[in-house]
Amino acid sequence: NFMLTQPHSVSESPGKTVTISCTRSSGIIASNYVQWYQQRPGSSPTTVIYEDNQRPSGVPDRFSGSIASSSNSASLTISGLKTEDEADYYCQSYDSSNHWVFGGGTKLTVL
């Protein structure tokens, strides 16, 4: 099984752009899709990016996803930061041994 490693926390000012990384420990990042979930305090997770870079309907285009083979990682970028974006963000992928894997989560503070 592989692990997905995220920074514990990031912070940025309103209106700015922030990028959260998710590094796969073994295997190839492109071998399985990466998803990103947003979890606001006291709420259930919701999907903001699926299939590496696809946005569900209703998610603003300020949210974008990408993968980079060079660093074996995925990234979530949020532009034009708003205070409502303050939340925990989790990356997730699938392990071919029939396990689903989450990153440890990143707390985004918009200050």
**Per-residue x/- track, 7-46, other proteins (CB under 8 A):** -------------------------xx-x-x-x----xxx
**In the 8-state DSSP scheme, what is residue 30?**
G
User: Binding of other proteins at residue 62 (CB under 8 A)?
Assistant: no
Query: In terms of Cα–Cα distance, which of 69, 68, 24 is closest to 77?
Result: 68
Tell me the closest approach of the beta carbon of residue 79 to other proteins, in angstroms. 23
Query: In terms of Cα–Cα distance, which of 22, 25, 26 is closest to 35?
Result: 22
Q: Quick one: which segment of 10-18, 20-28, 48-56, 66-74 binds other proteins (CB under 8 A)? A: 48-56
Residues 66-95 that bind other proteins (CB under 8 A): 88, 90, 92, 94
**What pairing do the DSSP bridges indicate for beta strands 35-39 and 106-110?**
unpaired
Tell me the closest approach of the beta carbon of residue 7 to other proteins, in angstroms. 13
Structure tokens at 98: 């029939």
**In the 8-state DSSP scheme, what is residue 15?**
T
Helix (H) or strand (E) holding 9: strand 9-12
Q: Rule CB under 8 A: which residues touch other proteins?
A: 32-33, 35, 37, 39, 44-47, 50-51, 56, 88, 90, 92, 94, 98-105
